[in-house]
A and B are shown apart, each in its own frame.
Chain A
Amino acid sequence: MSNGATPLLELKNITKAFPGTLANDDVSLSVMPGEIHALLGENGAGKSTLVKIIYGILSADKGQTQWHGEDVRIPSPHAARSLGIGMVFQHFSLFEALSVAENIALGIEDAFDLAALSRRIEEVSEGYGLPLDPARMVHTLSVGERQRIEVVRCLLNNPKLLIMDEPTSVLTPQEVEKLFETLRRLSEEGCAILYISHKLEEIRALCHKATILRMGRVVAECNPKVESARSMAQLMIGEELKTPEHGASKDISEPYLVVRDLTIASGHAFGVDLKGISFEVRGGEIVGIAGVAGNGQTELMDALTGETLAATPDSVEILGQDMGRNGPRERRQLGAAFVPEERLGHGAVPDMSLVENAYLSGFERMALTRGGFIDQGGQRRYAENIVAGFDVRTPGVEHAARALSGGNLQKFIVGREILQDPRLIIVSQPTWGVDAGAAAAIHQALFNLANGGTAVVVISQDLDEIFQLSDRFFVINEGRVSESLDPRSVSLEEVGLRMGGLHGVPGDVKDDIESGEGAVS
């Protein structure tokens, strides 16, 4: 840990501008050898930009980088790696159609010998408790195992500094614990870790020091062990946030969504098959679907919206009608609304104006089409109502969706669905990549809907969100859902086990994927 010696890495006055935003504004930061240093901030605070500069993917407009007290230039990731900097990306830099060994070979500078490399991978991965089979194809691995590839890839380069960008957002609680063990061990061996996160409890548990960024600037440095989560949150967000209120107890009505033995083979190369999913959601309740990314959430969402059709009509019953063979338009007409995970390109067309994007899902239920012709005035008024009603910050509704920030666009999409007065709403990752203010507003809107008698389904990888919102929830794992769980009584450990498929040992998960069977039933 820090001992007054020369810092391993020192950034001085780093500034980086993108068109329209100052991503990093005069940022200074120093990391001591062996230190686990948290970089804390909201979405869009500039954390990712800063580490991309350290790792040589981006170059700063201004400022200096020192390594072991000496000025360095890091023009490329190759240069970063040869200094001893490794990085584990939030969106993994992995190639699904290649094997584990090939993936690792791409990220290290050694001579190309896959057989020798495979032996080293086995050695290192066993040594750090991160078991990996070098011959496996990446697309057959779980998200946690994929992260291990990235970590092992870094470890093979004998790093002095390991950068981890939001590493736990894709892991089960058990996997998080294991990762922390590995990181602590690396720290004891003298490897510094720059740990990016917005999860305060994690940072308190793991990190020695924290630098807090807000809107591109360093607003504080602190010791997370002594600081409270609340005080760090205030530094991070810069204002006191209103916690969304669940409101009065509600009347639960009849089931608005019934899913019966839903089984769909994935149409995508590396997708997940849905296997016999059954559950129901009643009016007035919020039901969560938790799970690690890539366990069938996307496929389930598509099956619920009608973008992929089920084999039989009664697999998906919406508001009393069999809709398994009907598309999104019929489902919307009945009063269903959907907010997909991907904002740009799925929930909205990036290059289309907000007016056109309002029409995108609203034309049916808001009656914006007459005899095949678009009601120009009507679609504009609808877009303006959304912007006004949901505090969407935009200079005007004629601007393109891509020009909005993530939080504003999400508020627009959620608002667009809510103004259609849905009786069933299904939202996926509603606050992913959204700033805290917008997230709170979206959560409040979902509470209000449920209180008004709407059935709400929230698919989320964020367990905090699941626990905060849902009256009860399911865990999805390898295309199957668990029994209904009560967030007030279930233990985090049990949820974590279910997210990992009720297995403690990762090896078993692999076997299941190969044999196509999961243990949850």
Chain B
Amino acid sequence: MDWIVPTLITVISASTPLLLAALGELVTEKAGVLNLGIEGMMLMGAIAGFAVGIGTGSWILALLAAAIAGGLLALVFGLLTLTLLANQVATGLALTIFGVGLSALIGANFVGMPFPGLPKLDLPFLSELPVIGPLLFGHDFLVYFSFFMVFAVAWFLNRSKAGLVLRAVGESHDAAHSIGYNVIAIRYMAVTFGGAMAGLGGAFLSLSYTPMWAENMTAGRGWIALALVVFATWKPGRALLGAYIFGGVTILQLHAQGIGVEIPSQILSMLPYLATILVMVLISMDSSRIRQNAPGCLGKIFHPAA
């Protein structure tokens, strides 16, 4: 049974990038903006974090760079969809295509370089406790940050006035505008937050999970994070649950390969993608639930009409 704890730890690792990106997208979507470019923003965060980490040796600067890179790409999305009123679906796709390309271009010189990884929390005594020690006290900053953000986002959305305003903007931008809220500015902030979180999610992959840079290393995680938001019916707590279910599927698949299950490895690698489809089908079967929870103006273009 000594494999249980290490397995659970890898589940945490596999889930963290999904959780970070999904929380960011959740806030973006709550403001009424559908950003399909998570994959691109994650990749930009992954390479920016990795490059700065290698260059400076500082993991703090690396994470900062990742958040900024993701946020900047999100700002481009904001400029196109919020200011220039471009179609959100098309722009999100462009963001992904661009992010894949630009991260590969920047990352060409970093392929194969090693990175020491993020420092792990190491508490005297506590970290040495059996089972609980490694499970609770042996992780790096981003893991704890991701949990903190679940609560922070939940509190912000449900308990603060700013969160109420953000939800109102996502629910009906025309009504929010006529009461006098600056819909565009609020959406810019939400979109940028989403980008920064996606950037951190990507950075977790390149700085902690692997830790190294490889072209297109997110391998669809940005899209899975997008599915998670729907699965979570736009609730942070459920996003946590969803991220850990997906993380679990990913690890299950890896371990099955490790144990030597007699199935081609590619078939097992399909599992997370098939699981995403399955979950999307299950959640969309109960359409009333999505309709009740989906922000009313999700994906709609806002132009303050005369």
Contact = CB atoms under 8 A, between A and B. Distances in A.
Do A's and B's CB atoms come within 8 Å in the complex? yes
Interface of A: 18, 23, 49, 56-58, 76-78, 80-81, 89, 91-98, 102, 105-107, 112, 268-269
Contacts of B172: 93-96
Interface majority SS (helix, strand, loop, mixed), chain A: loop
Contacts of B176: 93, 95, 106
In order of increasing CB-CB distance, the 10 nearest A-B pairs are: A77-B180, A112-B161, A93-B175, A269-B291, A93-B178, A95-B171, A78-B180, A18-B306, A107-B179, A95-B168
Contacts of B177: 57
Contacts of B292: 97, 269
Interface in B114-151: none
B187 interface: no
Given A98-B168, A106-B165, A92 B291 contact: no
Contacts of B101: none
B11 to A, nearest CB: 34
A118 B43 CA distance: 46
Given A76-B180, A95-B175, A106 B306 contact: no
A81 B292 CA distance: 32
A422 B9 CA distance: 71
Interface in B287-306: 288, 291-292, 296, 306
Interface string B155-185: 0000011001101100110111111110000
A112 B159 CA distance: 9
B291 A106 contact: no
Nearest to B164: A102
A23 B168 CA distance: 30
B178 A106 contact: no
A112 B179 contact: no
A167 to B, nearest CB: 15
B179 A93 contact: yes
A106 B160 CA distance: 11
Interface in B60-96: none
B161 A97 contact: no
Residue among B165, B180, B296 facing the most chain A CB atoms (10 A cut-off): B180
24 contacts: A57-B177, A57-B178, A57-B180, A58-B306, A76-B180, A77-B178, A78-B180, A80-B180, A89-B178, A93-B172, A93-B174, A93-B175, A93-B179, A94-B172, A94-B175, A95-B168, A95-B176, A95-B296, A96-B171, A96-B296, A98-B168, A105-B161, A106-B179, A112-B160
A77 B172 CA distance: 17
Contacts of A268: 291
A448 B177 CA distance: 44
Contacts of B165: 106
B183 to A, nearest CB: 12
B91 to A, nearest CB: 20
B305 to A, nearest CB: 10
A80 B180 CA distance: 10
B36 to A, nearest CB: 23
Contacts of B180: 56-57, 76-78, 80-81
B26 to A, nearest CB: 16
B168 A106 contact: yes
A97 B296 contact: yes
A102 B162 CA distance: 12
Contacts of A98: 164, 167-168, 171
Nearest to B181: A106
Nearest to A110: B161
A95 B30 CA distance: 13
Contacts of A95: 167-168, 171-172, 175-176, 296
Contacts of B181: 106
A81 B164 CA distance: 19
- Between A23, A77, A78, A93, the greatest number of chain B beta carbons within 10 A of the residue's beta carbon is seen for A93
A89 B306 CA distance: 15
Contacts of A57: 177-178, 180
